[in-house]
Amino acid sequence: MRAFVKGVATSIACVLAWHAPTAAQQPAARVQSLSPTPVPAVTTLVSRLDLERYKATIKGLTQFGDRRQGTERNRKAVDWIEAQLRSYGCPTERLTYVYDTPQRRTSQPAQAGSAPPPAIPRAVGGGRPRGIRTPTGVNTDPQKQPNETLRALNAEPAADGPREEVYCTKVGSTHPNEMYIIGAHMDGHGWGEAANDDGSGTALVMELARIFSMPDVRTERTIRFALWNNEETGLNGASAYVAQRKDLQGKEDPPGSGRYPEPTWLGMIQHDMMLFDHGMPRADGSIPPEQRPEADVNVEFQMNAKQMAGAQALAWYLHAANEKYASDYPAQVGPHMTNTDSTPFMDIVPAITVRENERGVHIGSGWDPQWHQPIDLFSTYSDKDFRLGLNAAQTTLGAIGELAGASIVSR
Ligand SMILES: [Zn+2]
């Protein structure tokens, strides 16, 4: 049983490693062979997730307010995240890059005879919005934050210049040269605490780093846990990582050392807003106050990505992992991944997102009223909300535990 299950995981890892699958290599058929049987070692790892610990990590991130990029509160948050990762036994590194606010382009007047609006409306990412929609946007008004302490904490504006972001790595025991990347963005904005966007995803990635770094955990393949900066300004931190490191993939350095500073990418999973799925706005524009019992974890790939076939296979792998390892909420798969740090990866490696809602047609239609607002506070959310994030953590941990070949070693 065990060997069989590991064989399946290995073959899917190989599928995901293909960089240019031809029609004959479409991995969709492999998805049909996903095992419905949990892997005991992975079940053990998932059992090490804990709602109170997950909440405590989100709470820890909110001490730095909205963690806006280019500020001291953002740099302090990077330092704090790095200290936590090290305390888990996950060795850290930093990526440095420069962020300068782009010059605003003056908008051109519409040309006569330009393309008519599409017959079918489309949200960002390509999905079709339906039902009741409410306006969304980014709050830039400090006076909308009634908590004076938090308003003062968030007061420093962003300054252009050098940036840093942190990641840590669990090195694979038999395939150190192959790697899954698990990501979330640690910066936020809107004059709140960025508790959900994206403290919830950052805490999820940190919790997985903690569990995979436990001394009795071994993985055959490498896993990197990345906390991107500058997501809210246009995915700049993740884009800098891709630009600086994509050509280093799979190179042993120094030669003969067995060390791979940038293992070959097998897949990338981004986590962005994990807590809140109360449903569509009601006719009066209000949102139901409770997590809906049919809340779900939305796993999205992008149908226009060059690595779409592998990304789709990876998304369905998470769907299957959710059914085996997640305690409360199901997963749904959709084809309209957009607007987060998986985008710079999606043409190079199978890349997907995990979220509370679909980014385009749900969040873009106002399903999350805290999004980029002063009320994105730790105190806004109930345990039913936090539990959706925990279920997302169970889902990714289950999938990556299998794909990376996790086992428990007796010490
Ligand atoms: Zn976000």
pLDDT given at position 118: 82
Band (pLDDT 50/70/90 cuts) for residue 34 is confident
As a 3-state breakdown, the chain gives helix, strand, coil percent values, each rounded to 5, of 35, 15, 50
DSSP per position, 311-339: HHHHHHHHHHHHHHH-SS--EEEESB--S
User: Is the predicted pLDDT of residue 52 greater than 80, yes or no?
Assistant: yes
CA of 230 to the centre of ligand 1 (A): 10
**If you average pLDDT over residues 241-265, what whole number do you get?**
97
CA of 22 to the centre of ligand 1 (A): 33
* Minimum mean pLDDT range among 110-114, 117-121, 129-133, 397-401: 110-114
**If you average pLDDT over residues 273-300, what whole number do you get?**
97
CA of 69 to the centre of ligand 1 (A): 13
CA of 202 to the centre of ligand 1 (A): 10
- Compute the half-sphere exposure of residue 260: CA atoms within 13 Å on the CB side of its CA: 25
CA of 359 to the centre of ligand 1 (A): 10
| 272: three-class secondary structure by DSSP | coil
**If you average pLDDT over residues 255-265, what whole number do you get?**
96
User: Is the predicted pLDDT of residue 307 greater than 60, yes or no?
Assistant: yes
* Minimum mean pLDDT range among 105-114, 143-152, 272-281: 105-114
* Minimum mean pLDDT range among 29-33, 182-186, 400-404: 29-33
Q: Residue 307 class from Cβ within 10 Å (0-12 exposed, 13-18 middle, 19+ buried)?
A: buried
CA of 120 to the centre of ligand 1 (A): 27
Contacts of 277 (CB under 8 A, 6+ apart): 291, 292, 295, 296, 356, 357, 367, 388
pLDDT 10s digits, 140-184: 999 999 999 999 999 999 999 999 999 999 999 999 999 999 999
**If you average pLDDT over residues 363-374, what whole number do you get?**
97
CA of 40 to the centre of ligand 1 (A): 33
User: Is the predicted pLDDT of residue 300 greater than 70, yes or no?
Assistant: yes
Start-to-end CA span in the chain (Å)? 24
CA of 185 to the centre of ligand 1 (A): 7
* CB-based contact 331:314 (threshold 8 Å): no
Label residue 400 left, alpha or beta by phi (over 0 means left) and psi (-120 to 50 means alpha): alpha
CA of 375 to the centre of ligand 1 (A): 15
pLDDT given at position 33: 54
CA of 283 to the centre of ligand 1 (A): 26
CA of 201 to the centre of ligand 1 (A): 8
Q: In percent, how much of the chain has pLDDT > 70?
A: 90
CA of 384 to the centre of ligand 1 (A): 20
- The Cα-based distances of 62 to 202, 260, 262, 355, 378 in angstroms read 11, 34, 31, 19, 7
**If you average pLDDT over residues 29-36, what whole number do you get?**
58
pLDDT given at position 107: 62
pLDDT given at position 112: 59
User: Is the predicted pLDDT of residue 26 greater than 90, yes or no?
Assistant: no
CA of 81 to the centre of ligand 1 (A): 17
CA of 194 to the centre of ligand 1 (A): 9
CA of 358 to the centre of ligand 1 (A): 12
pLDDT 10s digits, 185-203: 999 999 999 999 999 999 9
* CB-based contact 275:200 (threshold 8 Å): yes
CA of 393 to the centre of ligand 1 (A): 16
Q: How far apart are CA 180 and CA 350, in angstroms?
A: 10
CA of 197 to the centre of ligand 1 (A): 5
Closest Cα partner for 209 from 87, 64, 67, 387?
87
CA of 272 to the centre of ligand 1 (A): 5
Q: Which amino acid appears at position 327 of this protein?
A: S
CA of 38 to the centre of ligand 1 (A): 31
Band (pLDDT 50/70/90 cuts) for residue 29 is very low
CA of 345 to the centre of ligand 1 (A): 16
Helices (H) and strands (E) in the chain, counts: 10, 10
Q: How far apart are CA 277 and CA 165, in angstroms?
A: 29
Q: How far apart are CA 188 and CA 197, in angstroms?
A: 6
CA of 111 to the centre of ligand 1 (A): 34
Tokens matching residue 221 = 């393949």
CA of 74 to the centre of ligand 1 (A): 15
Please identify every residue whose CB atom is under 5 Å from ligand 1, which is an ion: 197-198, 272
pLDDT given at position 9: 43
Band (pLDDT 50/70/90 cuts) for residue 108 is low
pLDDT given at position 160: 98
* Residue 170, phi then psi, degrees to nearest 5: -100, 115
CA of 187 to the centre of ligand 1 (A): 8
CA of 203 to the centre of ligand 1 (A): 13
pTM of the model: 0.91
* CB-based contact 324:400 (threshold 8 Å): no
Cis-peptide into 254, omega within 30 deg: yes
CA of 198 to the centre of ligand 1 (A): 5
Q: Judging by DSSP bridges, how do beta strands 92-99 and 161-170 pair with one another?
A: antiparallel
CA of 251 to the centre of ligand 1 (A): 32
User: Is the predicted pLDDT of residue 110 greater than 70, yes or no?
Assistant: no
Closest Cα partner for 196 from 372, 46, 399, 343?
372
pLDDT given at position 403: 95
User: Is the predicted pLDDT of residue 296 greater than 50, yes or no?
Assistant: yes
CA of 256 to the centre of ligand 1 (A): 40
Count of C-beta atoms within a 10 Å radius of residue 73: 17
* Residue 23, phi then psi, degrees to nearest 5: -55, -35
CA of 273 to the centre of ligand 1 (A): 6
